[in-house]
């Protein structure tokens, strides 16, 4: 589990400073730097010889992830013509497609070698790096615009100061507990599934089969994040939707414990949880974006 912990711990800490980095070197070069770090450390993890080395390289990977993910939403907001709501849909659509296809590709590569998913990530992120370099252009600015941008540049401690906003502080607390549940489901559920499959006499349940399960999970997440969440938030409002999804996810985690020895039960709950997670991701992102005028810089807390 240190493979997740080292990665997420560094990601969480670094995200407090990504708005400062982005203000210093620009959105484009922040994205490029993040992708370069991901490519390098993913490849190093694939070439490593010990678990300890992988844990260390995953920490470096987490730094690149922080620079890329938090800046990507700000870049989409700047490029989208339909405002922050449309930007969120575009962001969640891309995230959802990755969540759906990633486990399938990872399962296929993992069935060949444990190194496969690491090298696969390095290759895919290298493609993303080339796309950023070729397709994302920094708009030309006048001297007045550059001066205004420098004046509005976030400080090194802007991330910590943002927590003085009660709305962002509350949403950060919600996101902390939500992400705890999210990654418990994502990181731990494969273990009881493999054990339940073995107990049921299902011999052929490995990386490929887990990839198929999480393909279903990711597909459910993608569909609801893009198609269902906007309808629900417009119809019922953000707070009722957030309360309902958090309650539903709590029930899913309880059911995973109840069905810990049942392979069909575990698979069903995991896929159903994807439906709730998709709505929750979009609604929580929208809540943060609408919390203050500066929240596009501080999405990092999620």
How does pLDDT run across 250-276, given as a tens digit for each residue?
A: 999 999 999 999 999 999 999 999 999
Long-range own/partner contacts, residues 156-164 (CB < 8 A, 24 or more apart): 156/17, 156/20, 158/19, 158/20, 158/297, 159/15, 159/16, 159/17, 159/18, 159/19, 159/20, 159/298, 159/300, 159/301, 160/16, 162/292, 162/294, 162/297, 162/298, 162/301, 163/301
pTM: 0.82
Q: What are the structural domain ranges in the chain? A: 2-301
How does pLDDT run across 138-154, given as a tens digit for each residue?
A: 766 666 655 555 656 67
Residue 83 φ then ψ, to 5°: 85, -175
Evaluate whether 68 touches 31 at the Cβ level (below 8 Å).
yes
How does pLDDT run across 70-116, given as a tens digit for each residue?
A: 888 777 776 666 666 777 777 878 888 888 888 888 888 988 899 99
Compute the distance between CA of residue 64 and CA of residue 246 in angstroms, rounded to an integer.
Answer: 29
Q: How open is the CA angle 12-152-61, to the nearest 5 degrees? A: 25
How does pLDDT run across 171-199, given as a tens digit for each residue?
A: 889 988 998 899 889 888 999 999 999 88
* Domain 2-301 is found in CATH 1.10.240.10: no
């Amino acid at each position: 589990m240190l493979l997740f912990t080292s990665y997420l711990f560094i990601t969480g800490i670094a995200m407090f400073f990504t708005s400062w980095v982005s203000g210093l070197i620009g959105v484009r070069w922040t994205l490029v730097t993040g992708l370069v770090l991901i490519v390098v450390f993913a490849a190093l993890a694939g070439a490593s010889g010990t678990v300890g080395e992988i844990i260390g390289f995953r920490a470096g990977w987490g730094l690149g992830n922080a620079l890329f993910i938090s800046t990507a939403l700000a870049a989409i907001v700047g490029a989208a013509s339909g405002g922050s709501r449309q930007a969120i849909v575009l962001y969640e659509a891309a995230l959802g497609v990755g969540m759906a296809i990633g486990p399938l590709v990872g399962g296929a590569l993992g069935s060949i070698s444990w190194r496969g998913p690491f090298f696969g990530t390095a290759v895919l992120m290298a493609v993303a790096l080339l796309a950023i370099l070729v397709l994302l252009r920094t708009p030309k600015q006048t001297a007045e615009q550059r001066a205004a941008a420098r004046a509005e540049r976030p400080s090194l401690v802007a991330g910590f100061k943002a927590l003085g906003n009660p709305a962002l502080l509350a949403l950060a607390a919600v996101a902390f507990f939500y992400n705890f549940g999210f990654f418990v489901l994502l990181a731990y559920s494969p273990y009881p599934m493999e054990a339940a499959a073995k107990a049921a006499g299902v011999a052929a349940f490995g990386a490929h089969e887990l990839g198929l399960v999480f393909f279903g999970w990711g597909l459910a997440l993608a569909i609801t994040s893009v198609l269902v969440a906007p309808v629900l938030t417009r119809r019922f409002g953000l707070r009722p939707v957030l309360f309902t999804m958090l309650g539903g996810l709590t029930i899913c985690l309880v059911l995973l414990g109840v069905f810990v020895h049942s392979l069909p039960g575990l698979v069903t709950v995991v896929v159903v949880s994807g439906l709730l997670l998709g709505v929750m991701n979009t609604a929580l992102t929208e809540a943060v974006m609408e919390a203050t005028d500066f929240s596009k810089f501080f999405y990092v807390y999620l």
